[in-house]
Amino acid sequence: MSVTARERLIVALDLPRLSAAEAMVERLGDSVVFYKIGYQLLFDRGLPFAEALVRAGKQVFLDLKLHDIGNTVANGVAQAAGLGVSFLTVHGYPQTMRAAVEGRRGSGLRLLAVTVLTSYDDADLAAAGYATGVKDLAARRAEQAREIGMDGLVCSPEEAAGLRRLVGPDMALVTPGIRPSGAEAGDQKRVMTPTRAIAAGADYLVVGRPILDADDPRAAAEAILAEIAKAQGR
C-alpha cells in the first residue's frame, strides 16, 4: 500500500453531540485526516458535519451498515456518493452488496462490507435462523464481497491475516479493536496493538476511545501514528 501512516488512522467520532465532535476535530488538528461518523453523530447533524469535514480536506468514513431491498440500497448509496465521503459500510449480503456497487458507480466512494457483526456468535446466528457458524459465514461473505466488486472489509484485527489470505491484496481491510500497549480494552473483547494489526495485514485502523478519552487526544493520535509508521517501515 502506498498510503502514509496518517492516511491509515481513522478516528471514530463516537461522541454524543455535534459540538463535542467539532471540538475534538479542532483539538486533533492536522494530526488526523480521516474520521468515522456513525449513527450517534449522524442523528445530531452528522451529515452536514461530514460534508464540512470533506470541504476542510478531511476524509470521512460513514459507518451506516446499510441493508435494505436492492433498489433502496442502490439509490441511497448513489446519494451518499454525492457527499464526497470516502468509505461507506453495508452489510455483507450479496444482494445488498451488488446494489451498493451499482449505486456508487462513477463515484470515488469506496464500499466496505461488514461480514458478520462482531457481537454475534454461533448461537446468535442460529437464533437468527442461520445453519452456518460465524467463521464460515464470514469467510463466505468475504469471498462474495470480492467477487461482487466491494472495495474492502471491516474485520477484527484477529481476522485480518486469514481474510488477507482469502481475498488477496486488493481489498482494503479496516480494523477496529485497536489498543495501544497498556491501554484499556473497554468493551472490545479482541484487541490488538497498531503494530500487530498492521503486521496482520490491516490497511486502516479505526480508533475511538484510546484517542477520544485521552487527556491529550492529539498526543495519543501522534503516538499511534508513530507506531503505524514504524510498523510499515516509514
Quote the least distance from Cβ 10 to ligand C5P, whole Å: 9
User: How many Å apart are CA 156 and CA 190, to the nearest integer?
Assistant: 7
Beta-carbon count within 10 A of 176 CB: 22
Quote the least distance from Cβ 12 to ligand C5P, whole Å: 4
Q: Which of residues 5-24 bind ligand C5P (CB under 6 A)?
A: 12, 14
Q: Is 188 in the site for ligand C5P (CB under 6 A)?
A: yes
Q: Which of residues 104-163 bind ligand C5P (CB under 6 A)?
A: 118, 154
Please report where in the chains the cell 496518517 appears, as a residue. Answer: 6
Quote the least distance from Cβ 126 to ligand C5P, whole Å: 20
Q: Is 206 in the site for ligand C5P (CB under 6 A)?
A: yes
DSSP 45: I
Pull the grid cell for residue 141. 461473505
Q: Is 207 in the site for ligand C5P (CB under 6 A)?
A: yes
58 is catalytic: no
User: How many Å apart are CA 90 and CA 57, to the nearest integer?
Assistant: 24
Beta-carbon count within 10 A of 41 CB: 24
Please report where in the chains the cell 437464533 appears, as a residue. Answer: 127
Q: Are 59 and 86 in contact (CB under 8 A)?
A: yes
Q: Which of 36, 58, 65, 230 is catalytic?
A: 65
Beta-carbon count within 10 A of 192 CB: 21
Q: Which is nearer to ligand C5P, 74 or 174 (CB)?
A: 174
Q: Is 223 in the site for ligand C5P (CB under 6 A)?
A: no
Q: Which is nearer to ligand C5P, 97 or 206 (CB)?
A: 206
Q: Which of 25, 7, 3 is nearest to 211 (CA)?
A: 25
Q: Please give the radius of gyration of the chain, using alpha carbons only, rounded to the nearest integer.
A: 17
Here's the x/- map for ligand C5P, 30-69, by CB under 6 A: it reads as --------x-------------------------------
What positions carry a catalytic annotation? 65
Q: Kindly list the residues in this chain that would bind ligand C5P in the complex (CB under 6 A).
A: 12, 14, 38, 118, 154, 176-177, 186, 188, 206-210
